[in-house]
């Protein structure tokens, strides 16, 4: 994940678990129908294939559309695949960082990390290992402000 | 536009996207289960049903055998002949004796392709199969047997209830009886076009017999006749 002080992150694939579960249910149902010796209509079979392929593609494209990077100077959010919007928030300007997790995210081990610069908020949504990410971000913020690194779990408030 | 408003709109869009994906999933799952456990609910069946009310001219014909492909749900398909072509049931090969084979497929759904020489292909599923009087049924009640026969040299073929033929067009000889004897046509090498036939089909003694209803009949030969409902 980290490359010489730079952390590059994408949305976790765990977010798309409901899509994968739906595809799994469709294939298990098809298997059960075949096991019972019943015929599956060609339209149903094609629909299952189309839904599965479209679902996987959509999930992957959606994931690739958001890229986050934390380096020594800024928190960068690159949004879009063909038409990109790049939002940079200077580490100097960051006042605090916040980690939030709903129950579903806690179970899956993912979360949202917000880097707050006054009224400007850069959110790193649905990322893996959010605790490690917030610690990494804090380390960068502390290094910039000349403070010694702290190891906090829930976040930091300056 | 204010940020909270944008946030609310984004959240709403996200909710609708998730709901749409879930509804598509439920529809596919429901359709798959319905069509598998209740095959009679299929869309094809509904389309075939719609042909019948328009086909109001009663026809009884005895003609030459055309090259024809019929497909659909039939009450029974009966065929007899001398053929060494194997019969495949659920992928297993059943060799047929070379003389006097009599096959019956009950509640058959599938395709039957034939010409005057042979039945080139029968492919589909049936609730019950009888080979020379020996009945075969699937292990699980209510399920179907997948069957196929290729290049069967036949003597007789009968497809009952109900064959739907969109159009047959060929040159033939024989007789056509329309509306229970009101019009009888004798054909001698004349071109006929039968549209939207619904009924029973038999091939007996080298004659192609149709018994049912048609929407339109064209005879082009010594005289041009068109009958339509």
pLDDT single digits (tens) B39-91? 665 454 444 444 454 678 899 999 999 999 888 888 899 998 877 778 888 88
**pLDDT value, residue B53:** 46
CA A15/CA A110 separation, integer angstroms: 8
Point out the residue among B32, B143, B144 whose CB comes nearest to the CB of A29.
Answer: B32
Neighboring chain B residues of A18 at a CB cutoff of 8 Å? 18
Q: Where are the domains of chain B?
A: 1-48, 57-228
Q: Which spans in A65-124 are helix H?
A: 103-108
Q: What is the percent of chain A with per-residue pLDDT over 90, rounded to a whole number?
A: 46
Per DSSP (E only), the strands in chain B are 57-63, 68-81, 87-89, 92-94, 101-114, 119-126, 128-131, 134-136, 145-152, 154-178, 183-204, 207-214, 216-220, 224-228
The residue that leads in pLDDT, B49 or A113, is A113
pLDDT reading at A1 higher than 50: no
**pLDDT value, residue B7:** 66
**pLDDT value, residue A96:** 85
The residue that leads in pLDDT, B146 or A157, is B146
**pLDDT value, residue B104:** 92
CA torsion angle B65 B66 B71 B73 (round to 10): -30
pLDDT reading at A8 higher than 60: yes
Point out the residue among B25, B33, B140 whose CB comes nearest to the CB of A37.
Answer: B140
Q: Show Cβ contacts of residue B68 under 8 Å, excluding neighbours closer than 6 positions.
A: B113, B114, B115, B165, B168
3-class secondary-structure state, position A41: coil
**pLDDT value, residue B4:** 61
**ipTM score assigned to the predicted complex:** 0.77
CA torsion angle B200 B112 B109 B106 (round to 10): 60
Do residues A153 and A133 lie in contact, with contact meaning Cβ atoms separated by under 8 Å? no
**Residue B28 sits at the chain A interface (C-beta within 8 Å):** yes
Do residues A115 and A94 lie in contact, with contact meaning Cβ atoms separated by under 8 Å? yes
Spans in chain B with pLDDT lower than 70: 1-8, 39-54, 98, 141-142
**pLDDT value, residue A32:** 92
**pLDDT value, residue B52:** 54
The residue that leads in pLDDT, A100 or A117, is A100
Average pLDDT of the segment spanning A124-131: 90
**pLDDT value, residue A39:** 79
The residue that leads in pLDDT, B74 or A37, is B74
**pLDDT value, residue B6:** 66
**Residue A151 sits at the chain B interface (C-beta within 8 Å):** no
Neighboring chain A residues of B42 at a CB cutoff of 8 Å? 41
pLDDT reading at A25 higher than 70: yes
Write down the mean pLDDT value for chain A. 85
Q: What is the pTM of this model?
A: 0.50
pLDDT reading at A154 higher than 50: no
**pLDDT value, residue B117:** 87
CA B129/CA B134 separation, integer angstroms: 8
Neighboring chain A residues of B35 at a CB cutoff of 8 Å? 40-41, 43-44
């Amino acid at each position: 994940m980290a490359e010489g002080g730079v952390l590059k992150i994408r949305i976790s694939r765990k977010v798309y678990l409901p899509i994968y579960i739906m595809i799994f249910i469709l294939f298990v149902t098809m298997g059960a129908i075949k096991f019972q010796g019943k015929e599956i209509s060609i339209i149903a079979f094609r629909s299952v294939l189309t839904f599965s392929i479209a679902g996987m593609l959509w999930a992957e494209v959606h994931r690739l559309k958001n890229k986050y990077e934390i380096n020594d100077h800024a928190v960068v959010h690159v949004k879009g695949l063909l038409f990109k919007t790049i939002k940079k928030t200077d580490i100097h300007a960051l006042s605090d960082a916040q980690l939030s997790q709903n129950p579903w995210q806690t179970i899956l081990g993912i979360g949202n990390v917000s880097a707050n610069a006054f009224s400007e908020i850069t959110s790193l949504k649905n990322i893996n290992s959010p605790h490690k990410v917030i610690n990494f971000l804090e380390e960068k913020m502390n290094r910039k402000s000349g403070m010694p690194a702290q190891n906090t779990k829930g976040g930091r408030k300056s | 536009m204010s940020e909270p408003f944008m946030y609310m709109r984004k959240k709403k869009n996200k909710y609708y996207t998730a709901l749409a994906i879930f509804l598509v999933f439920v529809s596919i799952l429901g359709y798959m289960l319905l069509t598998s456990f209740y095959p009679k609910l299929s869309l094809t069946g509904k389309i075939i049903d719609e042909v019948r009310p328009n086909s109001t001219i009663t026809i009884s014909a005895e003609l030459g055998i055309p090259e024809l492909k019929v497909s659909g749900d039939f009450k029974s398909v009966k065929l007899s002949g001398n053929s060494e072509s194997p019969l495949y049931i659920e992928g297993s090969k059943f060799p047929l004796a070379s003389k006097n084979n009599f096959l019956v497929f009950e509640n058959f759904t599938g395709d039957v392709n034939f010409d005057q020489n042979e039945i080139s292909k029968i492919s589909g599923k049936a609730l019950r199969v009888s080979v020379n009087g020996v009945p075969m049924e699937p292990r699980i009640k209510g399920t179907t047997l997948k069957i196929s026969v290729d290049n069967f040299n036949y003597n007789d073929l009968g497809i009952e209830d109900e064959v739907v033929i969109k159009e047959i067009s060929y040159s033939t000889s024989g007789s056509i009886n329309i509306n229970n004897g009101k019009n009888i046509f004798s054909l001698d090498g004349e071109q006929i076009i039968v549209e939207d036939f619904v009924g029973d089909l038999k091939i007996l003694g080298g004659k192609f017999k149709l018994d049912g209803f048609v929407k339109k009949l064209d005879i082009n030969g010594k005289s041009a006749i068109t009958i339509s409902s």
